[in-house]
Amino acid sequence: MLETIKQTAAWIKGATNDFTPEVGIILGTGLGDFGDKIEAAYVLEYKEIPGFPVSTVEGHKGRMIFGTIEGRKVVAMQGRFHYYEGYKMTEVTFPVRVMKLLGIEYLFVSNASGGINTSFRTGDLMIITDHINLMPNPLIGPNLAELGPRFPDMHNCYDKDLIAKATAIAEREGIKLQYGVYVGGTGPTFETQAEYRYFKAIGGDTAGMSTVPEVIVARHMGIPCFGVSVITNCGLSDEIGDHEDVQRQGKKAAVRMETLFKSMIKELK
């Protein structure tokens, strides 16, 4: 696996003339339009990249964009990979490994999720302060010691300094933020109300089907992470969830997320 990661990173470096991004960004369902705001230098389709999976979910465009935001070099994934698509966890998290070798120093992740906290409303942005993993851990199996330790610590896996920076920017820009714990499940079914009640009982504020494996692997490699969930429905209500509405709600919230991400990237040290 490590050799494949290195080979893919080397291929991308060749295809992008050794472009070295500072920030990796993973865009979730309905949030891919943020990638169009990047001043793109190179765009690579996943299907072109050796070793890369291909996104199969509507709302995930399936390409990497290399360019600049506020003068900082970034790489954005328009579309991610999910365990429920049938991929192994090593495949789901493969792009994060590759982005590390390309040079990223920070990882920004976003997702669409169902609200558990009854104070949340559809369209809210929630800063992820912690997560609960209900998926197979992506670090199961032989440890890639060259990339990280056998038993990585997950305390503060969502960087407190980045959360503080987001809070200050939101106050300045008049963006309402929520804060809470993201519960990561396998999907692909939307959760039952009993499952939402269980997630609430164990400390969850929102639930989704992504993000957690990527953050675990990023922290294994020592990358500071920042995560945002767009609340696309309220799981403890009688709302009926569907993928089309998730995409619509994601697009509505994308403008506020774009402002937050752009300002944060500009102000990174």
pLDDT mean by block of 10 residues, the chain; 269 residues: 95 97 88 82 95 71 92 94 94 97 97 92 94 98 96 96 97 95 94 92 96 98 96 70 58 81 91
Please tell me the predicted confidence (pLDDT) of residue 237.
Answer: 59
Angle between helical axes of 94-102 and 212-220 (0-180°, round to 10): 40
Sign of CA dihedral 144, 146, 149, 152: negative
Percentage helix, strand, coil for the chain under 3-state DSSP, each rounded to 5: 35, 25, 40
CATH of 2-267, one of 3.40.630.40, 3.20.20.80, 3.90.1200.10, 3.40.50.1580: 3.40.50.1580
What are the boundaries of each domain within the chain?
2-267
How much is the pTM?
0.92
